[in-house]
Structure 1
Amino acid sequence: MTFATPIALLGLLAIPALALLMASRSRRRDRFAMRFPAAASLARAANPQEAYWRWLPSAVALAALAALVVAAAHPKHTVRVALQEASIMLVTDHSGSMAANDVTPDRLTAAKNAATSFVDKLPSGVKVGIVAYSAEPDDVEAPSTNHAVTKAAIARQVANGGTATGDALAVALGLLRPKKTTRTPAAIVLLSDGTTTQGSDPVDVARQAKAMNVPVYTVALGSADATVPNPDPFGPPLPAVPDPEGMRQIADASGGRAFTAQDAGRLGSIYQALGSQLGSKPVTRDAVGYPLGAGLLLLIAAGGLAARRRAM
């Protein structure tokens, strides 16, 4: 929470001073009452409930004053609201190493499930597309509000081939190239489990993305000891080592963020967080009504308690 007029909060310093002043005056009244005792004074001294009712209206009034001081400082709070317009490109690796089963049930299935869930949770007005790739970009859908098209492309992926991350990013960036007359927010979400083996340098493409104000959020999937079967039935399993450092360099060069995931749960959490971030924007709203309403209610309560005390 922030305050438009924070200096008004200095008024809160007066509340403990007022409390001390009221306590001091009460002690003086008590000393005077005991010096010149009367039946009513003795009854009040012997009744603890009387002391409670004597202090309660003042305490509520001080709480009301505190709430009104906070209202005078004009508080504001930030909430996230769904974007009505945005464009997001998923860039998903389905190279041969995505067949590794270090992520349950295997890397590619976990990635497809997380990407589908990501698309499902995006606001309907957000455009989403996909570039699926292995040795080259081989399944491309431009950003669209027809999210079913993107989910169908996610489902079609099969693990095979090399890893041409740079070429896939270049295709995605081309589809996101903003028109001069629009400033629609755009971003790329890249998921890969390995080092680029062919094609253009993805870090160079990431620098172009930054110049276009298109951050790339990267997710490095898998664990270092993972393997995949060797095409040679007599050969040993082949390593399927992820490249989190390379993915971090891509994210840093574009102004995005890098994540790592070694299991399906972590991958799902990352996609969920990205969906919330990329599908919404922070909006600052006025919150003065809350403390103002509380202060007025407390003032009414203090008046009612004072009237009841006088009637006792």
Structure 2
Amino acid sequence: MAEQRGTAGSLAGRVALVAGATRGAGRAIAVGLGAAGATVYVTGRTTRERVSEVGRTTETIEETAELVTAAGGEGVAVPTDHLVRDEVKALAARIDRERGRLDVLVNDVWGGEHLLRFGEDTKVWQYDLDDGLRMLELGVKTHLITSHYLLPLLVRRPGGLVVEVTDGTADYNTRYRENMFYDLTKNAPIRMAFGLGEELKGLGCTAVSVTPGFLRSEQMLDHFGVTEENWREGVRVVPSFCISESPAYVGRAVAALAADPEVARWNGQSLSSGQLARVYGFTDTDGTRPDAWRYIVEVEIGGKDADDSAYR
């Protein structure tokens, strides 16, 4: 087995910011970094006093911070709307004042699921323009604002890591993704990681994009009417749910990257949780290594006669 990185204590003394850590991949990444000993600032718009436009009250950034601390790190919740420049600027100033450093920046801001029209053949001129532009604001503009204000802190010392979280690898996303607005939103972080890689490499820092596979987020579990314990029942609704993965999987992927002293080898690249599991040796919570993107291409799209066991 390949060496497993991102283990307990390997990120002790390191400071991370997970922008968009209320739920899903962002929460799991924050917890994964915390489990490796990092101090993790977690941001989002949903708190115990305020609910964002996503409309979910069951996950908050305070809860995420508590999970980070329980995992072995130090979680710090900072309510932040990453479209509001002054709030992001204040966030950067607070991390600088309290820690004087930033080692890992994870751009996972999204929160646009309620704007999607999956399964509809809606052209750009037919799509609700306000919804489409809001999607781009939430998934692209937020990332740019966050990088603008936080990167000056990260580049103070060599070894810094920026992770742009998206949906789909660069190879998979050569396919058109649902509609114009979603396609642009989910391809932009891949290109941002490439561009940031070019800007950061001379400063000894690294940027990558990372995608989970078919993610069993809190919202996805609710959508399928299942829990993490009985998630396989969701296969009755969508057969490809068989290759889904827990959020912890991508959390372990990012923790492994952050702990890798040779992380610069990945600079500018598009990576997936399944790909990184094979390199670093970590597994999902059930002990398997799901490779969702290969399954989707070969089985769901390609029609190969195989079950998910060959992709775990």
Normalised TM-score (structure 1): 0.32
- Rg larger in structure: 1
Structure with the bigger percentage of strand: 1
Relative contact order (C-alpha < 8 Å, sep 6+): which is higher?
A: 1
